[in-house]
Amino acid sequence: MGSLFRSETMCLAQLFLQSGTAYECLSALGEKGLVQFRDLNQNVSSFQRKFVGEVKRCEELERILAYLVQEINRADIPLPEGETSPPAPPLKQVLEMQEQLQKLEAELREVTKNKEKLRRNLLELTEYTHMLRVTKTFVKRNLEFEPAYEEFPPLENESLLDYSCMQRLGAKLGFVSGLINQGKAEAFGKTLWRACRGHSIVTHAELEGPLEDPETGEVIKWYVFLISFWGEQIGHKVKKICDCYHCHIYPYPNTAEERREIQEGLNTRIQDLYTVLHKTEDYLRQVLCKAAESVYSRVIQVKKMKAIYHMLNMCSFDVTNKCLIAEVWCPEADLHELRLALEEGSRESGATIPSFMNTIPTKETPPTLIRTNKFTEGFQNIVDAYGVGSYREVNPALFTIITFPFLFAVMFGDLGHGFVMFLFALLLVLNEDHPRLSQSQEIMRMVFNGRYILLLMGLFSVYTGLVYNDCFSKSVSLFGSGWNVSAMYSSSHSPAEQRKMVLWNDSVIRHNRVLQLDPSVPGVFRGPYPLGIDPIWNLATNRLTFLNSFKMKMSVIFGIIHMTFGVILGIFNHLHFRKKFNIYLVSIPELLFMLCIFGYLIFMIVYKWLVYSAETSRVAPSILIEFINMFLFPASDTGGLYPGQEHVQRLLLVITALSVPVLFLGKPLFLLWLHHGRSCFGVSRSGYTLVRKDSEEEVSLLGSQDIEEGNNQMEDGCREVTCEEFNFGEILMTQVIHSIEYCLGCISNTASYLRLWALSLAHAQLSDVLWAMLMRVGLRVDTTYGVLLLLPVIALFAVLTIFILLIMEGLSAFLHAIRLHWVEFQNKFYVGAGTKFVPFSLRLLSSKFSDDMA
């Protein structure tokens, strides 16, 4: 068998890394992804470890790179992601990379800050221009006042800034002008009116185009306002209110000439600013473009470096403090490659003394490694989701590859639906190299990962649909039905036969709504349909009576076979871990228990199928009643299934009754006997092996040692007996619980397999309802409207088929098939208490920006 049958053998190796070459060696190891490091410094906090400084440096670099990526994304520059991932940088390059990145960051920050300042400046100037332009129109309205203002000489500014006063009729006329946010304009006006008690005039107009706020980037609409007021006190109030409302105030020109001058000055300044701003933005873009070329590889390199330092933190220093010691789990098949990688690393760093390794024996349980390819990975994930297998135990995933899609198909069995599912999976498989598919999000990613499972599920569903004779709820008659209606007519038979049977003629048919075919009438039943269920059952009203009986028996047969197979796989485990006594004391009683009761049930089912026919249908006993009566020993004798039935059943019950105590007590007593040396317990079943074990025990020194035969230090699979003491009570309790679970589980698990019947019934009925409610309605309509109606009906039928029958039922059957595997199949042999082998592999680091920069 391939390595999928059992996990690989592992060994613990010690690596001696010279401190000069440690980094390069780990880089070489990481690129190959061979070994799993063990943390030797577990009681040291992460802040006290040796390479904390280097890790901090890596994180600093990561921060700079994240800032770079953010800026590049903000400027909408494309960020190319390379195909190959570069290796971790050698130590010499790290320093210069760090300098480079820091310089780049400083420069970027500087340029961005300048740019912001320029833009803010530009905004102020633009606002001032707008304000001047708009307030001109205010003043222009009162054209007659214009010349009047020019007569009076302007007074110098009073103590307050930002407004100019004019003397007029003894009172000082002041102006305040500026821009205010659109939302606040009304409130502003009201406050002004109330505060100044009518001593101010406010005019405002809306600015046509919205302006962008440089800090937040929002576009807001602004109102230009002009406030004219009398008096100094009011001037204070106005100023304060303007402050409150966060208005942008600009100095108001007194004369038209001043206004013109200011406007010209502003225009030139704006032009200058535009040029400077453009140049700055160009320069920024240039810098970012250049950085974008190498940012991707830098990110990967920094990530790899950080990972290497994390691993280095797990190593411990030896006594002389010059050599790093690392303990790794390595698969035995890869030991040679490990040596090569160490040599390569030493060579690259140019050290005189190469790093080396040696294996050390250990009592600990190694992690479990099962090598999968893209096809078997999905099935292995299904098994691992329940529990990663213990070290070196039989891996159910090998068989799950076929049994899981098959059990799914038994519950899903529909030719049409299965074919659609198969096509969908085929599409996924053929396009698996398409980049968008391998980078998709959660749910699509799960579906994509399970594409081979879907493929097999669809394929098997096509087969079971063929056997169930169910295609979108319709049956296909490939070979012609085995049931002949015409033979039921009295005209088909000779008068002599007619007197013996109840036959039909036209009037009988006209007066009875339903009639049943009788297989005992010769010629009615012409033989079983060669492939699957006869198509006539699709037309029958008592279809479910026949199908239920067939499907229930089929479910029970498959269940018992699946479970028996599970027990047999347990025998492989016992053989591998060299615990032969388990086979005789546990597996064989389990098998006998299961087969004597449920194997006999299968025998009865098949016997009834073969022997009883329509002629004897009246006396055909019910399997269920016979099965129950097997245990109840009823007084009345109902005839039974076959002659001699009671004797056979009694024998089977005796065997079962004998195997139960062996299952309960055999193993604990045997282990007790082994532990205490020879005593009077003689279990005849395992006589030969006991003698052999005994002599071996006496040869090796007795004591509270391991009592498993041929115990190998490395293969410590069984955890029942601790190395130090022998706890009989615990063993007995474990075995009793296991036996009770097994015996009761036999019955409940067999019944649990009836879900194969239940789900396939549900699927068939749903399919039938969909057809009857949709397509039949559409197909029955007259041809004139029928064509038009049929189009939306077919569309609705397709949509509902996909969502209800394919997705919902598919998920449901998937879940139940998983349940059958996880519970009913795997609890017969699978322990699943292991840890997964996670190698230190730099290839596993995510190389996508979206993952961590999101």
Residues 554-573 within binding reach of other proteins (CB under 8 A): 554, 557-558, 561
Residue 498 found at the interface with other proteins (CB under 8 A): no
Give the one residue of 93, 431, 438, 545 binding other proteins; rule: CB under 8 A. 545
Confirm if 841 and 37 have CB atoms less than 8 A apart: no
Structure token pair of residue 315:
């190593």
Q: Which of 69, 258, 64, 247 is nearest to 149 (CA)?
A: 258
Confirm if 297 and 309 have CB atoms less than 8 A apart: no
Measured N-to-C along each axis, helices 623-632 and 645-661 cross at an angle, to the nearest 10 degrees, of: 60
- Closest separation in Å from C-beta 595 to other proteins: 17
- Closest separation in Å from C-beta 658 to other proteins: 30
Going along 664-793, which residue ranges are E strands? none
Residue 595 DSSP code = I
Give the one residue of 106, 423, 515, 691 binding other proteins; rule: CB under 8 A. 515
CB nearer to other proteins: give 320 or 507: 507
Residue 543 found at the interface with other proteins (CB under 8 A): yes
Identify residues 755-774 at the interface with other proteins (CB under 8 A). Answer: none
Residue 542 found at the interface with other proteins (CB under 8 A): yes
CA of 458: how far to CAs of 409, 413, 454, 646, in Å? 8, 9, 6, 46
Report how far residue 674's alpha carbon sits from residue 393's, in angstroms, rounded to the nearest whole number: 25
- Closest separation in Å from C-beta 456 to other proteins: 9
Among the candidate windows 158-166, 299-307, 542-550, 802-810, which touches other proteins by CB under 8 A? 542-550
Residue 758 exposure: Cα atoms within 13 Å on the Cβ side = 9
Residue 509 found at the interface with other proteins (CB under 8 A): yes
Phi first, then psi: give them for residue 333, nearest 5 degrees: -70, -20
Confirm if 176 and 252 have CB atoms less than 8 A apart: yes
Measured N-to-C along each axis, helices 232-244 and 185-196 cross at an angle, to the nearest 10 degrees, of: 150
Phi first, then psi: give them for residue 834, nearest 5 degrees: -95, 175
Among the candidate windows 568-576, 609-617, 743-751, 845-853, which touches other proteins by CB under 8 A? 609-617
- Closest separation in Å from C-beta 498 to other proteins: 13
- Name the CA radius of gyration of the chain, rounded: 44
CB nearer to other proteins: give 359 or 491: 491
Residue 503 found at the interface with other proteins (CB under 8 A): no
Residue 598 found at the interface with other proteins (CB under 8 A): no
Confirm if 139 and 128 have CB atoms less than 8 A apart: no
Residue 534 found at the interface with other proteins (CB under 8 A): yes
Residue 443 found at the interface with other proteins (CB under 8 A): no
Give the one residue of 524, 592, 595, 596 binding other proteins; rule: CB under 8 A. 524
Residue with tokens 């579906």: 447
Confirm if 353 and 22 have CB atoms less than 8 A apart: no
Residue 513 found at the interface with other proteins (CB under 8 A): yes
- Closest separation in Å from C-beta 434 to other proteins: 25
H or E element at residue 549: helix 543-576
CB nearer to other proteins: give 355 or 469: 469
Structure token pair of residue 836:
């997964």
- Closest separation in Å from C-beta 51 to other proteins: 38
Report how far residue 233's alpha carbon sits from residue 247's, in angstroms, rounded to the nearest whole number: 20
Q: Which of 329, 402, 326 is nearest to 8 (CA)?
A: 329
Give the one residue of 128, 309, 529, 670 binding other proteins; rule: CB under 8 A. 529
- Closest separation in Å from C-beta 636 to other proteins: 23
- Closest separation in Å from C-beta 543 to other proteins: 7
b/e code 840-854 from CB counts within 10 Å (16+ = b): bbbeeeebebeeeee
CB nearer to other proteins: give 134 or 459: 459
CB nearer to other proteins: give 483 or 581: 483
Residue 720 found at the interface with other proteins (CB under 8 A): no
H or E element at residue 146: helix 145-151
Among the candidate windows 206-214, 290-298, 487-495, 760-768, which touches other proteins by CB under 8 A? 487-495
Identify residues 405-434 at the interface with other proteins (CB under 8 A). Answer: 406, 410
- Closest separation in Å from C-beta 4 to other proteins: 5
Between β-strands 171-181 and 248-250, what pairing exists: parallel, antiparallel or unpaired? Answer: antiparallel
Residue 467 found at the interface with other proteins (CB under 8 A): yes
CB nearer to other proteins: give 486 or 765: 486
Q: Which residues, listed in sequence order, are joined to residue 504 by a DSSP beta bridge?
A: 489
Q: Which of 110, 133, 114, 111 is nearest to 122 (CA)?
A: 114
Residue 622 found at the interface with other proteins (CB under 8 A): no
Residue 484 found at the interface with other proteins (CB under 8 A): yes
Residue 307 found at the interface with other proteins (CB under 8 A): no
Residue 230 found at the interface with other proteins (CB under 8 A): no
- Closest separation in Å from C-beta 482 to other proteins: 5
Q: Which of 729, 688, 687, 727 is nearest to 707 (CA)?
A: 727
Residue 353 found at the interface with other proteins (CB under 8 A): no
> With 0-12 CB in 10 A as exposed, 13-18 as middle and 19+ as buried, what is 291?
buried
Among the candidate windows 259-267, 548-556, 585-593, 840-848, which touches other proteins by CB under 8 A? 548-556
Site string for other proteins, 366-405 (x = CB under 8 A): -------x--x---------------------xx-xxx--
